[in-house]
Structure formats: structure tokens, C-alpha cells
Amino acid sequence: MNGYRELAAELRRRIDSGEFEVGATLPRILDLMEEYKLSKQTVRDAVGVLADEGLVVTSKRAGTIVRNRTPIAIPLSRYNQTMAPGGSRGPWETATAAQGLDGFMQLIRVDRVPADADVAELLELRPGDGLVYRLRHAIIRPDDVVQIQHAWYPKDLAEGAGIATTSKITGGVYGAFLAAGHELATASETISARPPTEQEAAELRIGGRVSVIALERVTKNRDGRPIEVLRAVAPADRVRFIYDDLPLLNERAQ
């Protein structure tokens, strides 16, 4: 074995074979140097390749840890289940629970902010109008951050629905709007793929070569008023958005 690419391939093989399981720590750089008779820089470069590929996460305190790449299905049906009367889970908690995963939403912060031109247009407001902004992390316990969610709501609707708070919203935001008398009608989603920003890569614990799926959702009520703009980012190797049983014919066509 002469170079970092060969070492990366060997460590990749050991990870894929299960020798190093999810959450396991790879041998220290000094130990790998001794085992493979390679220089420190060669070993570091090999670990860097694995980190870029999303196989491992490096930490000064914890070392090099094998990353969880278990895919998580996020079906369209999560919305209907969330809006069922008496529900206590939001869409993320509903989707993960159906797969036997312990998912939860961690609220990072809530702010009252003026609408920028982009979000104002989507919410059919004027730039500068008051919004409530909520930043959340979608997590698999104990601390596996799988999504970063940015969401904006018209200030009057958010305060009326009780979501302009840092308290836990039982049943999720949709449930809170329903409880406040807002019947939800449509959710339009746009999905694209792109490289992560440096901050996104750090929060999601991925390398720069792992693409992210960027989702933008605009939710409207029965009156056609936009009540939410949500932008979520997740590693492309972790999530699968499933749009099942979509109608292909309307009643008139039938």
C-alpha cells in the first residue's frame, strides 16, 4: 500500500463490511500509521477522503467516527397523519416513528423578523412586513441531525396560532394552525440538490462532497392565503421524499 487512495479504499472496505459499525471510532492516526507503515499526512489524506464521502465524521475530541447513513423515508402521507384530530406528533416525528426511529424536532430559535423580498413574495406580503421565523433541527436521537429547517410565518397568524413561542408545540405547527381554526388546503414543494454551505456541512456533520437536498414548501389555507414558507436542507444520502398515490386524473377527465 503506497498512497492515501489505497488506504481510503481499505478503510472503506472495513467500514462497509461492518468491521467498524455506525458510531464506532476508527483507529487513531498514529495507530493507522503503525498498522499500514504510512506517513501521518498520507493517513490524514485518506481519512479526509472518507470524510468528504460522508463515511466518517472527524472531531478533535472524539476522533474519527463512522457516520450513520441509514436512509429515512419521508412520505407525502405524513401531512394527512399529522392533521388527524388529536394527533400529538409533527410530520417529522410521524414519518420517523413509522420506521421505528426515535425522531424529534429541536427548536433552535424563534425570532420576529421583517420579511425580505424573496419570502415576502412567497407569502404574498410586502417586504418589511412582520414575520415569525423558526429555526429547527430534525433529529434522530440521541443527536443525529438529519434536517435543518428554516420556516417563516405571517406575524398575525403565528401569534394567533400560538407558534411565536419557544415552548413545545404538541402536534406540530400544522396542528397548531388547525386548532386555531385555519383549515389547511395545499402544500407545494420544490426540491433541488446542491453542495452544502460550510455551516450546513458542520451542522449536518457531512463532508463537502456530500450533496444536500434542498426543499422549499409553501403552505396555503382554504382561503388561498400563504401561511408558511419552509426551507429544509438534508444530506442527499439520508432522506428519500416519497410522493405516493398522487392523482393522475381529475374528476372531469374521468
The answer to whether 188 touches 92, Cβ cutoff 8 Å, is no
Q: Give the model's pLDDT for residue 251.
A: 55
Lookup: cell for 212: 444536500
Q: Could you tell me which residues come within 8 angstroms of residue 108 by beta carbon, excluding any fewer than 6 positions away? A: 135, 136, 137
- Domains defined along the chain, listed by start: 4-66 (1.10.10.10), 72-242 (3.40.1410.10)
Burial group, residue 135, by CB count within 10 angstroms (0-12, 13-18, 19+): middle
pLDDT tens for each residue of 65-98: 999 988 899 887 766 655 554 556 777 888 898 8
Residue 218 forms beta bridges with which residues? 188, 229
- In this prediction, residues 157-164 reach a mean pLDDT of 95
Give this prediction's pTM: 0.85
Residue type, 79: Y
pLDDT tens for each residue of 99-122: 999 999 999 999 999 999 999 999
Lookup: cell for 1: 500500500
pLDDT tens for each residue of 163-208: 999 988 877 888 889 889 888 999 899 999 999 999 999 899 898 7
Q: Give the model's pLDDT for residue 252.
A: 57
Residue type, 154: P
